[in-house]
Amino acid sequence: MSFLQYLINGISLGSIYAIIALGYTMVYGIAKMLNFAHGDVIMVGAYVIFTTISTMGYPPIVGVIVAVALCTVLGITIERIAYKPLRGASSLAVLITAIGVSYFLQNMALIVFGADTKSFNSIVKFGPFHLGGLVISGETLVTIVSCIIIMIILTTFINKTKAGQAMLAVSEDKGAAVLMGINVNQTIALTFAIGSGLAAIAGSLLCSAYPTLSPYTGSMPGIKAFTAAVFGGIGSIPGAFVGGILLGVIEIFGKAYISSQLSDAIVFAVLIIVLIVKPSGILGKNRQEKV
């Protein structure tokens, strides 16, 4: 019985990682950069929701819509100001810039919202459900369902629409995409917009499941989700989903059956083993880099 409960808890934690990982993997797959500020966009989204729901008293759905809108704008702005000027620079420079943006967002949140931890009111108003001795929270159901819906929409968008095809083309070969008349800058901006909008949704679900909110809320889940994205094969959308769920389940099982102190060590040890056996991740494409 407790095995099943652990499994449910693991999937619940994993689906949150998966939603965050979707954002990482999209941006990496298309812009070929690691957006380390992604976790902090999540935090900003959560604060926006907190402000609209708890401080201004609007219903949760309004909060989520406002947060998605604001985070989309934030994502485009970050891309325009911090990343676009570095398009030709080495990937290391962009990486460091992303870390800078991450700290910038954290410290802005510190100034604007203060240091003290806020208690977040869940946007999910139903549950928990009891099945025999098992407990499934409403947040878990909503997270898993949203994660699957988002994945389906993203895959359809990329495969069926012109803008999506442009993204695929840019990710395959930026130079060739330009020659085919694709506006690379616009495509990358669109990627950031979608990624940041997803971050807002992830923020609402993360803080509903674990209802505290501080300027550092996004950083650790961000790192874990990044791990999940690498685990599943960075750049692959189903990979992010699989990686996220697996990571969550491994973490909870590690805690439950091996040691609650070593759970992170176990997670990362599994990551190392997977990367040794399959360097591109579970569902990653093995693509040869041409020199």
Partner 1 sequence: MKNVKKVLAIALASVMAFATVACGNEGTPAVGTESGKTAAAGTWRIGGIGPTTGGAAVYGQAVQNGAQIAVDEINAAGGINGVMIEYTFEDDENIAEKGVNAYNSLKDWGMQMLLGTVTTTPCIAVSAEAAADNMFLLTPSGSSTDILEGKTNAFQVCFTDPNQGQGSAQYIGENNMASKVAVIYDSSNAYSQGIYEKFAQEAKNYSFEIVSAEAFTADSNTDFSVQLQKAKDAGAELLFLPIYCEQSALILTQANAMGYKPTIFSCDGMDGILTLDNFDVALAEGVILLTPFVADATDDATVSFVTKYQAAYGEIPNQFAADAYDGVYIIKAAIEAANATPDMSVSDLCDALKEAMVNITVDGLTGTGMTWEATGEVSKDPKAMVIKDGVYVGY
Q: Interface residues with partner 1 (CB under 8 A)?
A: 2, 5-6, 9, 12-13, 50, 54, 110, 114-121, 128, 130, 135, 137, 210-212, 214, 216, 220-221, 251-252, 255-256, 260-261, 263-264
Looking at the Cβ atoms of 180 and 265, the one nearer to partner 1 is: 265
Alpha helices in 161-262 (DSSP H): 162-172, 174-179, 184-209, 219-232, 237-253
Of 72 and 137, which CB lies nearer to partner 1 in the complex structure? 137
Of 105 and 252, CB closest to partner 1: 252
Report residue 180 as tokens. Answer: 């085919």
DSSP 3-state of 49? helix
Amino acid identity for residue 199 in this structure: A
Helix (H) / strand (E) containing 158: helix 138-160
Minimum CB distance to partner 1 smaller for 256 or for 270 = 256
Q: Between 192 and 231, name the residue whose CB sits nearer to partner 1.
A: 231
Q: How far is the CB of 91 from partner 1 (least distance, A)?
A: 25
Pick 120 or 226: Cβ nearer partner 1? 120
Q: What is the 3-state secondary structure (H, E, C) of 75-93?
A: HHHHHHHHHHHHCCCCHHH
Least separation in angstroms between CB 100 and partner 1: 18
Least distance between partner 1 and beta carbon 220 (Å): 6
- Minimum Å gap between C-beta 243 and partner 1 is 18
Nearer to partner 1, 117 or 159 (CB): 117
What torsion, rounded to 10 degrees, do the Cα atoms 213, 218, 219, 223 define? Answer: 140
Cβ–Cβ under 8 Å, residues 40 and 218: yes
Specify the DSSP element, H or E, that contains 285: none
Q: What per-residue string of b and e applies to 21-40 under the rule 16 or more CB within 10 Å gives b? A: bbbbbbbbbbbebbbbbbbb
Q: How far is the CB of 137 from partner 1 (least distance, A)?
A: 5
DSSP state of 131: E
Q: ∠115-118-119 over CA atoms, to 5°?
A: 160
